[in-house]
Amino acid sequence: MTTHTQDLTQLYTHKKWQHKPKYSQAMLEAMRGIKHSDWTVTNRAELDAFASVAITGKLPSMPDTWCYLRYDGRHSCDVKNTWAYVYRKFEKFMNTGTPQFLIFNPKGNKKLKFYAFSTLPGSLGCPGMGACQDWCYSLKAWRYPEPYFRQLQNLLLVKAQSEYITEAFQAIPHGKTLRLYVDGDHDSLETLQMWFDLLKTRPDLQVYGYSKSWDLFLKYNASGQTFPSNYVLNLSSGSKFESFPLSQLGMKEKMLMLECVRNLFLALQVDVPMPKDGRADQPAFLAHVRAVKKAAKDEGYGNVFVCPGKCYDCMPNGEHACGNKSINVPVAIGIH
């Protein structure tokens, strides 16, 4: 594995990222009489270093800790959803160039019922990453091998401007909604150009997203090209460009003037978490809303639309605030 820089090592070595077996050592030995010494143990530093090798076009070696003998006597390479097993799928992609993971997820996730596209979060896939690295939910998905390798595959396809992306995009059914991106971000002006060229070929799709790569959108706008009419952008807080000056206006103010931009998407620290049942737990949800509105006011924002946590039911008739330009106020979500 390649040596990683100290700042990323500190970021990627959180104790939550130490994967632990479901059963204790003593329980396992009692169950099978098998002595277990090697378990799947990984962390963000190792995964980021793995991706750093992969984007050069080389297949990284599989870390030894990904191979182990399970309590049931089976090897991890033979068991679905282990790091060793999913690595083999990624190995096939690297050797053949044929995608082994979904490029567009038609079911999104439990909070998102739209088509979804993702690449790697973090420094490799989010060049505009700033303060958001302290609370990025996308990095938490790296606890599981399938999302990580799917994101890495897609990042490599994007960088290669692969025809597989074009084919998968054109195969999205008529009239669907697509979130571009869920994880990751536009990593270059070439990537932004690719997506906007594709979006212009499918005016039937409703496409929305969030970005911290504000410099790329301003460069695209400066080129004199028009933004796709079916694309709505939310400016994510936590961007490294958030307080970056540009002429007499801040970069944020310049971005808010772009035709494709709806408004801001704010992540605000609150002491009252979103209830697990969302709006179904009305008293707890209203307490959360009040906390988010107060946090927004304390940071100098006026009225905000508080995100209820699920993209598909925040407005009537299946509409969603982040994809609706008529909701011309910041959308805010509470983090804690």
Length of the chain: 336
Quick check: bond before 208 cis, omega within 30? Answer: no
Picking from 119, 143, 111, 70, the residue whose alpha carbon sits closest to that of residue 307 is 111
- Separation CA 324–CA 336 (nearest Å): 27
- Site of tokens 């080389």: 58
- Separation CA 134–CA 311 (nearest Å): 23
Alpha helices (H) in 160-311, listed in sequence order = 163-170, 189-200, 214-222, 251-256, 282-298
- Separation CA 277–CA 213 (nearest Å): 33
Residues 6+ apart with CB under 8 A from 267: 132, 135, 236, 237, 238, 332, 333, 335
- Separation CA 274–CA 139 (nearest Å): 20
Q: What is the pLDDT along the chain (336 residues), one digit of tens a residue?
A: 333 333 323 333 333 334 444 445 554 444 443 334 334 467 888 899 999 999 999 999 998 888 776 666 777 778 888 888 999 999 999 999 999 999 999 976 666 678 999 999 877 877 777 666 666 676 776 778 999 999 999 999 999 999 999 999 999 999 999 999 899 999 999 999 999 999 999 999 999 999 999 999 999 999 999 999 999 999 988 777 776 554 445 788 899 999 999 999 998 889 988 887 776 668 888 999 999 999 999 988 989 999 887 777 788 777 889 999 999 999 998 886
For residue 69, what are the β-bridge partners? 75
Spell out the domain ranges in the chain: 6-96, 107-259, 262-336
Query: Phi and psi at residue 173, in whole multiples of 5°?
Result: -60, 155
Query: Phi and psi at residue 23, in whole multiples of 5°?
Result: -115, 155
CA angle 179, 45, 75 (to 5 degrees): 90
Task: Give the helix/strand (H/E) hosting 332.
Answer: strand 331-335
Query: Phi and psi at residue 50, in whole multiples of 5°?
Result: -60, -50
How many other β-carbons are positioned within 10 Å of the β-carbon of residue 323? 22
Residues 6+ apart with CB under 8 A from 222: none
